[in-house]
Structure formats: C-alpha cells, structure tokens
Chain A
Amino acid sequence: MDSRLITAVQVVVGVPAVLIAYVWLTERLLAATSNRWQRRVRPWLWLAPALGFLGFFLVYPTIRTIMRSMYGKNELKQEFVGLDNYRWFFTNSDALGSLLNNVLWLVFFTAFTVGIGLLVAVLVDRVRYEALAKSIIFLPLAISMVAAGVIWKFMYDYKPPGSTQTGTVNALIGTLGLGPVGWLQSPGFRLSTFALIAVMVWMWTGFAMVIISAALKGIDPELLEAARVDGASEWQVFRRVTLPLLGPTLAVVSTTMIITSLKMFDIVYTLTSGNYDTEVVANLMIKQMFTFGDFGRASAVAVVLLLAIVPIMAFNIRKFRTQESIR
C-alpha cells in the first residue's frame, strides 16, 4: 500500500527474526568457549536487548530526574538547591494531603481490584457463560481515559435537590428516597477520593481478573480432584489448594496494582483536578512539571515515588527466594 506498510511488515517480521537470529548466533559463538564461560556470559546475552531498552527509556531518564531534583526551578540558569525541593514536599500541606490520599488509593484500590478480580476469576470458572462474563468485566479496560471521564461524569452527575437527577447513581439512590449526593464534590470523609477509587476499580478489575484467570487455568485439575476425593469441601479446596497455588500470581497482580495506584493521576486530573481533597502525588508532579514548569520540584516528587516502592520490592525479593526453593 505505502511505505509505512512495508516498514511495519519489516518490523513485525524482522524484529522477532533478528532476535531469534541473535540468540542463535550468540549460542554458536558460545559453543566455542568453555562450559564455565558459557554459564557466566549467556544470561547477559539473553538479557541484553531488554536491558538496552530499559536503560535508554527508563534508567537514563531516572538518573537525570534524581539529579534534577536537587536543582531549582529555572531551566536557564540552574542553581543547586540541595534538598530544598524535598523540604518543600514534606512541609507543603497539599503535598502531604496528597500523600495521605495515595495511602487510601494503595490500600483500597489494590484490595478491591485484586479481591474482585480473584472472585470473578474463580466464580466464572464454574459457569458456562464464562467468556461473556469475562468480557464484560474486561470491557472498561479497553475504554480510554477520556471516555471514562465522560462516563463517570454522567454516573456521578449532581443536580440540585428537587430537580430531576440525570446522574445514574443519584437517580438510583433517589428512588430509595436518599440524596442527591455530590459524589465528586465532597471533601468530607474523603468521599470524593473513594468515588474516584471506585472508577479505577471499575477499570482495572478486568486486568487483575485476566491474569488471575490465566493462572487459575494453569492449575492441574487433578490436584483439585484429588482434594475433593479426599472429602474436602469446595471452600477447603479453594483455601488449601487453589489459593496457595495462585500465591505468586496474586503477588504479581498486587505489586502491579500498588504501583498503578502510586502512579495514578489521570482520573483525578479529568474528574476533580485535585479539588475537594482528592489530590494525589502523581498529579502534583505532572502539574509542577507541565503547568508550573518547575522541573526541580516535579523531579523531587518523582523520586519520592521511587523511594515509596522500596519496601514493596524488598517483599518481592523475599517472595522470589521462596518460590525458587519450593518449585
């Protein structure tokens, strides 16, 4: 059709071919070397393409971010300010408020996406309309953020008491004689933050479900059958056999969801813009960077995010070690 198509085909066929050729070729070269040498070098050859991409797109910019976080706002005459940007973050009430919100996000977003994702994966495994059910839960993930913003503005829409409610949620609770509630405009009890968490749970449960379901299908049915033959109830089978086998997968999904919750900003940006005590750390960073043009502070916020995952990663190391020893 045109040159773009040719390039695309070249890439789609070419890149895998090049990668396979690369591994095959390095194997041939390694074959000429000693066994010990092979063991030592081979992993790095296999890792090299990935590490190259990661180094260029993520590690190199991150090192720059860390350095930039110690310089002032002005791009032209950058002056070293030491830890001033961090001091700003930890003394600013908005920033600290956003940190609290991120804790709420981390706990509730992760718990609900993983919990409901697991529930759905296990339940639909037993019904005949599994494909349909999974597709419905998965659907929101395919919706772009902009469209999700429109959907949930409709869902949470608020009209003054006494007039017709056009928002789905307020109309629904209206039939029970309650409301209307300004879901996205209520700082009290951080209601609006929870309303935003609900939106993202709606979007991301499908993600957790797909991965958990894939792992569930990987469990050898004979194991479950053996437990049932031994007289275990369905609940016991789930608790004693299924859940432990899903353990590593649940850890992966939870870690991913925790990191997603830390980086969450677009729903806040589109629906409340951080008003009504809904500000989150990532939104603060984006605003400092692109709206206020303060790369120093923005970088400091990014570094805080990086540090926040250290404990989670430590947990992951421990988990791998145990996985290693039992498999």
Chain B
Amino acid sequence: MNPWLRRMVPVAVLALAATGCSTGDGSSSDDTDLKGKTVNVIGTWGGDEQAAFLKMVEPWEQQTGAKVKYTGTRDINTVLTTGVASGVLPDLAGLPGPGQMAEYAKAGKLLPLDDVLDIDTYRADTAPALVELGKTEGKIHGVFIKAAIKGLIWYNPKVYDYGANPPKTWADLTTQAKANQGKAKNIWCLGLESGAASGWPATDWIEDLVLRTAGPEVYVKWYEGKVKWSDPAIRRAFQMYVDEVVANGYGGGKTAVATNFGNAGDPLFASPAGCQFLHQASFITGFSQFKSHKAGTDYNFMPFPDIDPQYSGAVEGAGDLFGMFKDTPAAKSLMKYLVTAQAQDIWVKAGGALSANKNAASYPDDVSKRSAEILANAKTFVFDASDSMPTAMNDAFWKATVALTNGSKNIDQVLGDLDNAQKDAYES
C-alpha cells in the first residue's frame, strides 16, 4: 500500500461508519486534498437513474469538496470504444459488460481496484459471485454498482393470488396456471422490443430454462462458448420456450416482438386481464403500469420455480459494472465511496435497483426487499449468460430469439445460425 493510500484509509472508514462497520477518527485534513478537484464520470444512467446517482455522490462531494461531472449516454459502447482507442478517458465509467471490462483491462486501460477499495469490507459486504465476476486476470477491475435479479415471475394478486401457495416446480406452476385459465386471456405476457437490444427478454427466458434444466455448469460452459447451441441441453430450452411460453403468450409471437418490454406487463392490470404472468427482472417495477400501481397489493412476484430438482436454488442476476480509468486521488476516493453501504443505501432508496452490498437495506417496499434477499441468499448465483458472451454472440442471440418468436425462423434454422456465429465470435 503506498503512503498516499495509507492516509486515505481513514476517510473511507469514516464513510463506512454509518453502517457500523468500524470506529475511527478520520482526520479531515485528508479531505482538503481533494477540494476543488473534479471527477469525470461516464455512465449509461439517465432520467431517474441519473438523479439517483447524483444524489448518491452528494455526501461525498460535501465531505471532500470535490465535484463529480457526470455524462450520461446510452451509447456507452461508442463513447468508450472511441475513448479507449484514442486515449481520452473519463476518470470513472460504467462498463457495457464483462466482455468489454476484460478487454479494457487486458489493454491496460482499466485499472485494478484491489488497492483502491477497502478490500476486506468489500468482500464481506458483497455477494461472492459478483466479486468474482469483477475480476480479470486475478485482479478486481470492476465493481457491481447496481444489481438486478433476473427471472422473477410477476402476477396480479387481484386476478389470482399465487402468494398463498406459491408453485414450487415448473410442473406445479403450469398446472395451477391451467386451472386458472378462465381468469386471464392467456398465461404469459411477453414483450421483446427494446430498440437496438430487442430480444433480450427472450434470451433471459432461455437462460432461465437452461439454468434449471441443464444446471449451472452447462450454463457457464455455454456462455464461454464451450457448448454448442445445437447441443441437446440448449436445444431443449429453446423448445420449451417455443412450446410453453410463446404458444401460451398473450397475442402470440407477433405481438410479443412488437411489444416493448417495458409495456409487456400492461395486460396484467387490464380488465379482463390479458395474462397471468410476466417473466421479468426486478427492475420492471420502474416501468409503465408497474410504476402507477402499488407493490404488494396490485402486483407481486414469485421466484422462478425449479424444473430439475438437482439444480434447485440457482438464481440468475445482472448488474451495472463500474471501473476506473484514471489513477487520481479524487477518482480513487469516489470509487471507494461508491461501493460502501452508505452510498448504496441512497441508490436503493430511490427504488428500481438492488444493491450488491448486503448492508444496503433501505429498500422502499417489501417487493424490492424480497428480491434483494434472493440476491443475497442465492445458493448458486450466475450472471446473465448473454451479457457474459462476446458482444457479437450476444447480438446474434438477441436476433435469433426475435426471429424465433416472430415465427420467421424455426428452431433448427436459429440454432444453425447461432452455431455459425459462435465459431466466429469467440476467436479474437
């Protein structure tokens, strides 16, 4: 640890004091070092997320006298690719995904954080799977500043309250849903449209099915490119998606591809209800009708049920990675602050986001509290497979599910395309 960092530790300790992790007498003389300094941050957050982020860094700004200059853009790929290639970089940045993180780290642009973070506290506070996912070549290069649980099954308790006797298995879920068929036009709501990322809600479906029918090991090998798409284990998940989800989808596949994922849940709240369930991540509560309805009474969720009992308790999640490009005192201090429970608490209070930090607990309602518990207590936690694939593979996966759902291609064609794309995407 260099001498400068040694002096910095008390500051972070002070920041952590709010969570009761430590006692310490931080000397404010260190803070004055940062007075008037700025930290350039680029991220994908806009709107309510941007407001929440700025709120989150406010205490840090007040404490240090430094300032955060934030640029939000949904074209983070374009901006960072250009920035990395020409050497003009922000101090801190949200990273598009694990693939780009590894690439930037190997190029020496993204800096290791092991000496920047209060590593012991970070490890103790954070879900181990997420700590591991932020590593490249043995060193932490990215932290999950925000997390989400994928594959929750949302329903409207006023249509039928699945909370009373939640289905434990897929078969159970199917039986109960069939029994309640009269209460809604169809079983599943489905919406795949999401601009340039159209298709991702369907890839989430297939990932959940692979995880629970073939298990976490195959799941990981699959996104690493070591299992072919036409492999029976993967094929079965595609088949289930087509036969059980799309076939029982509200409005059919054509409606699904034309519906924005954010609006996909609207039929849950219609009367008569259009569907019984929506399969979507924890962040859906910030969208469309979820936003205008009340958590717990108007909508609720159950975890994705087991399919093969031997893989019980596996959970898929995702999150926003964050990394450091410039080694300045202010950037380090901010980075360290962002993962603390104090900072993360502000994030989660704003709603719509989960924290990777177990000690951030100020969730605004029961629904988000429950999803945070699933994240913290998962027996097996895996990261979103498509996000872990090379971007070209991910893109092909999105496109394939759109073509499949729309009916313009069948499973064989789609898996053939993906096998071809796999050959190309993993070599570099």
**A interface residues, Cβ below 8 angstroms from B:** 73-76, 149, 153, 157-160, 163, 182, 184-185, 187, 269-270, 272-276, 286-287, 289-295
Contacts and interface: CB of A to CB of B under 8 A. Distances in A.
Can you list the 10 inter-chain pairs with the closest CB atoms, starting with the nearest?
Answer: A160-B251, A158-B258, A290-B78, A160-B255, A273-B196, A292-B392, A290-B77, A290-B81, A275-B402, A182-B258
B164 interface: no
B264 to A, nearest CB: 12
A276 B406 contact: yes
Given A149-B195, A157-B258, A269-B195, 8 more contacts: A158-B255, A187-B408, A269-B196, A274-B399, A275-B399, A291-B391, A292-B390, A293-B391
Contact of B107 (A75, A160, A163, A187): A75
B250 A160 contact: yes
Interface string B266-308: 0000000000000000000000000000000000000000000
B391 A292 contact: yes
Contact of A185 (B85, B251, B254, B399): B254
A205 B51 CA distance: 39
B403 interface: yes
A272 B406 CA distance: 13
A185 B196 CA distance: 14
Contacts of A275: 198-199, 257, 399, 402-403
Contacts of B195: 149, 269-270, 273
A286 B78 CA distance: 9
Contacts of A184: 258
B197 interface: yes
A300 to B, nearest CB: 15
Nearest to A76: B107
Interface in B79-101: 81-82, 85, 100
A290 B250 CA distance: 35
Given A273-B197, A274-B399, A275-B402, A291 B77 contact: yes
Interface in B374-405: 390-392, 395, 398-399, 402-403
Contacts of B408: 187, 276
Contacts, number: 72
Main secondary structure of the interface of A (DSSP, over half): loop
A74 B81 CA distance: 13
15 contacts: A73-B428, A74-B428, A157-B258, A159-B251, A182-B254, A182-B258, A269-B196, A273-B196, A275-B257, A289-B81, A290-B77, A290-B78, A291-B77, A291-B395, A295-B85
B103 interface: yes
B59 interface: no
Contacts of B199: 275
Main secondary structure of the interface of B (DSSP, over half): helix
Contacts of B85: 75, 295
Contacts of B395: 287, 291-292
Contacts of B390: 292
B26 interface: no
Contacts of A182: 254, 257-258
Nearest to B106: A76
Contacts of A153: 260
A149 B196 CA distance: 12
Contacts of A287: 395
B252 interface: yes
Nearest to A268: B196
Contacts of A289: 81
Contacts of B75: 290
A157 B258 CA distance: 7
A192 B416 CA distance: 24
B391 A185 contact: no
A158 B252 CA distance: 12
A274 B195 CA distance: 10
Given A276-B406, A292-B391, A270 B196 contact: yes
Given A76-B107, A187-B408, A290-B81, A159 B255 contact: yes
A196 to B, nearest CB: 14
A78 to B, nearest CB: 12
A274 B251 CA distance: 23
| From B257, B258, B391, B392, residue with most partner A Cβ within 10 Å | B258
A193 B75 CA distance: 24
A121 B199 CA distance: 43
Contacts of B251: 159-160, 163
A270 B74 CA distance: 12
Contacts of A163: 251
Given A273-B197, A290-B77, A185 B257 contact: yes
Contacts of B250: 160
A74 B197 CA distance: 25
Contacts of B106: 76
Interface in B193-217: 195-199
B103 A293 contact: yes
A280 B254 CA distance: 23
